């Protein structure tokens, strides 16, 4: 990434985005035995197809969080109420089945693969708890955050406990390769948070910084979880790369749309305050694209929207610009890349469900 940004000061913003896109999608896996196959499978609803393997998901997570202290138990169970979308576990079990079918036509999810889905949801939830503390957030999924109810210190400890329980479950799988792959997620989450705390003056570097942060904070979990279940189900490194690239591209697209919804969705529908990123001083995709049309936003970005009226002005500029449309278009490109990857696997209902899932990512409204 550095070699791009260091010599890009004279590039236009669209050009650096195009260059970064090509760089970000360089892959060592260019072929697979089924890369030319066009599926005849009919439409598959990912949630319906993954329901069997996700049955009792949250009950199983709560079993991993067995604790005698009543208050800690209540805190840990708070977000595992079965009302979440279970988006990440669903991708993981569908990828597991797709890779198993590709390898030996096995349609069952292995116990170890399902464990990866559970661990992914636990890591994700622990990261949300910690994010809410860092951001001093007061609502999440339509209800008050842990830190608002129990305070910051206890919320941090609850997040730590969920993460430690996920680590125990990971060790129980007993595969050092899988442990290495999934612990990378935890490292990326921390590095991503540090990236979010920083900023770049140069607008081209700023966009690369934003996409790297997006990968580490959001997409790494999906990418590496998909890779983990592919390793457990298939010995072919090309398949591992396909699974990883699919997860990476879907994960980045998911976050790009999340950043769009921060400007286009109402707080009640989204389940958390809108314009939250601006209030935290964060310049996301819509802001960075809008900055091309309204250069005066540069000063606001550098001071992290800290002056009175900055948040309102920046939001106005974004909605007057094509920032939302450009960010949505970029998300579409990532989803198309994910589709190209997953179509390299042998046709199956699960593969088609993963294709449809990329469309759902783009169409979601919360």
- Range in 161-165, 196-200, 223-227, 298-302 with the lowest mean pLDDT: 196-200
Domain residue spans of the chain:
46-363
Q: What pLDDT is attached to residue 28?
A: 36
pLDDT at 268: 52
* Cβ atoms within 10 Å, residue 53: 19
State which fold the 46-363 domain adopts: Farnesyl Diphosphate Synthase (1.10.600)
Q: Crossing angle of helices 176-197/203-214, nearest 10°?
A: 140
The Cα-based distances of 121 to 66, 68, 97, 215, 226 in angstroms read: 16, 22, 18, 17, 13
Q: What is the pLDDT of residues 303-350, one digit of tens each?
A: 999 999 999 999 999 999 999 999 999 999 999 999 999 999 999 999
How much is the pTM? 0.86
- Which residue matches tokens 């974004």? 318
Secondary element (H or E) of residue 174: none
Mean pLDDT of the chain: 86
CB 222 within 8 A of CB 94: no
Which residues touch 152 (CB under 8 Å, ≥6 apart)? 133
Cross-strand partners of 144: 139
Contact 319, 278 (CB under 8 A): no
Dihedral sign for Cα 216, 221, 226, 227, please: positive
Under DSSP, is residue 150 helix (H, G, I), strand (E, B) or coil? helix
Q: Are 351 and 363 in contact (CB under 8 A)?
A: no
Return the SS3 of 200. coil
The alpha carbon dihedral of 318, 324, 330, 331 has a sign of positive
């Amino acid at each position: 990434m550095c070699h791009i940004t260091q010599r890009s000061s004279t590039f236009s913003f669209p050009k650096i985005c195009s260059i970064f896109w090509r760089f970000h999608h360089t892959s060592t896996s260019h072929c697979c035995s089924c890369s030319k196959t066009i599926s005849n499978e009919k439409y598959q609803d990912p949630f319906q197809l993954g329901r069997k393997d996700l049955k009792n998901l949250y009950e199983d997570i709560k079993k991993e969080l067995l604790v005698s202290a009543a208050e800690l138990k209540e805190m840990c169970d708070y977000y595992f109420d079965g009302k979440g979308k279970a988006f990440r576990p669903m991708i993981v079990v569908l990828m597991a089945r797709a890779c198993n079918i590709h390898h030996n036509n096995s349609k069952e999810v292995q116990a170890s693969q399902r464990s990866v889905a559970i661990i992914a949801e636990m890591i994700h939830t622990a990261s949300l708890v910690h994010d809410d503390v860092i951001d001093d957030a007061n609502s999440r999924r339509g209800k008050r955050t842990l830190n608002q109810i129990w305070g910051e210190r206890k919320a941090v400890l609850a997040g730590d406990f969920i993460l430690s329980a996920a680590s125990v479950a990971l060790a129980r799988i007993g595969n050092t390769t899988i442990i290495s792959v999934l612990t990378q997620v935890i490292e990326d989450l921390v590095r991503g948070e540090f990236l979010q705390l920083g900023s770049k003056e140069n607008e081209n570097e700023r966009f690369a910084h934003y996409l790297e942060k997006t990968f580490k904070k959001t997409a790494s979990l999906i990418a590496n979880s998909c890779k983990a279940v592919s390793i457990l189900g298939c010995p072919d490194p090309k398949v591992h790369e396909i699974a990883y690239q699919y997860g990476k591209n879907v994960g980045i697209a998911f976050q790009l749309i999340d950043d769009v919804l921060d400007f286009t969705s109402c707080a009640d529908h989204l389940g958390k305050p809108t314009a939250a990123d601006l209030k935290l001083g964060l310049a996301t995709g819509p802001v960075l694209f809008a900055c091309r049309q309204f250069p005066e936003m540069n000063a606001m970005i550098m001071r992290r929207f800290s002056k009175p009226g900055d948040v309102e002005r920046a939001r106005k500029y974004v909605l007057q610009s094509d920032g939302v449309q450009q960010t949505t278009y970029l998300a579409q490109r990532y989803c198309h890349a994910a589709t190209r990857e997953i179509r390299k696997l042998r046709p199956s209902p699960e593969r088609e469900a993963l294709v449809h899932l990329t469309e759902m990512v783009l169409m979601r409204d919360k």
